Structure 1
Amino acid sequence: MDGIDRAILRKLQENGRMTATALAVGVGLTLAPCHRRLRELENNGVIRGYGVDVDPAKVDLGFEAIIFVTLRDRSSMKDFEREVGEIGQIIDAQRLFGEPDFLLRVMASDLPAYQRFYDDVLVGLPGVEKLTSTIVMKNLKSGGRLPL
């Protein structure tokens, strides 16, 4: 990966819908080499996909919670990770070093909907010993870009 590849990635992080022509101009290449580099970045898994930034409040998902999860032991870790990966309301999940074991980011329409999700889904995840929730008051920054 060289400086031109990084420039391509920076431009695409700013606007993933830009045309290949606009991208080529933006990074100082002609269309064919730019397109080749773009496909190479996609084929090598550097570019994992393209998405859209949706305003959660506009789709009735304006309630956000961060949940810290501690497991009883490591024997249920794989099952926990698999199930978390299948639950749509969990939009981010990280395994952590030390305590707690995981950090989850959950979206819901409101507090009662989150409470139902907590009671019906989160407490039933494999191996859960402890859940600690905190409610997001305000998002200061989201959709961060990698500092390329």
Structure 2
Amino acid sequence: MISNNPYLAVYFGRFLRMDELDRKILAELQSDGRLSVTDLAERIGLSLSPCHRRVRALEQSGVIRGYHADLDPGSIGLNFSALVFVTLREGDRNAVASFEKAVMGVPQVIEAKRLFGDPDYLLHVITRDLQAFQELYDQHLSALPSVQRLTSTLVMKSIVADRSLPLP
């Protein structure tokens, strides 16, 4: 979204004003991204063509960034989760860019956030077990560019994950 206004999105160089129907579309798609446009139109009380146009406009404006399957990590053998706090030695533009590019290449990092203050980053790492995490930590995370310090904590239990965004 290019506009800072949460109710507007840029669509082909124009502003798209989101209304209550757009918010209903977004709520339904956050809940079930596999809805057909026919089912979506029925749920929000809109005919098929206008619903399809609205979904397409929301996609093209960048409000809807994509669709994906929500996988259960434990079901595919990824049973270990850790949060890793990263402090960089240098905070200049090149160090930050190098670190961020390198961390994007580590598939076990499923989320990375740049933070204000200390530490500089928060990484959510998922592996099959503690040994796999230790190997990743020793061989890859500690070798990321400009890393001064890594501090990790283990995730005991996930309480809220992948929650739908609250729509205004």
The answer to whether 1:68 aligns with 2:92 is no
User: If the length of structure 2 is used for normalisation, what is the TM-score?
Assistant: 0.86
The answer to which structure, 1 or 2, has the higher relative contact order (CA under 8 A, 6+ apart) is 1
Offset at 1:74?
Answer: 1.3
* Partner residue, 2:132: 113
The TM-score with structure 1 as length reference comes to 0.98
How far the C-alpha of 1:143 sits from its partner, in A, is 1.2
Q: Deviations over 1:125-145 (max 9, x none)?
A: 000001000000011121111
Aligned residue in 2 for 1:92: 111
Identical counterparts, % of pairs: 51
More helix by share: 1
> Does residue 24 of the first structure (1) align with residue 24 of the second (2)?
no
The 2-side partners of 1:104 and 1:80 are apart by: 12
Structure 2 residue runs of 5 or longer lacking an equivalent are: 1-17
Question: Superposition RMSD on alpha carbons, in Å?
Answer: 0.7
Would you say how many aligned residue pairs link Structure 1 and Structure 2?
148
Aligned to 1:15: 32
- 1:6 corresponds to 2:23: yes
Residue type of the alignment partner of 2:154: I
- Give 3-state SS (helix, strand or coil) of 1:113's partner: helix
Q: Deviations over 1:70-129 (max 9, x none)?
A: 000113110001111121110000000001000000000000000000000000000000
The gaps in structure 1 that reach 5 residues or longer are: none
1:124 corresponds, among 143, 154, 158, to 143
Letter in 1 for 2:135: R
Query: How many Å separate the matches in 2 of 1:89 and 1:30?
Result: 43
Structure 1 stretches of at least 4 aligned residues deviating more than 2 Å after TM superposition:
none
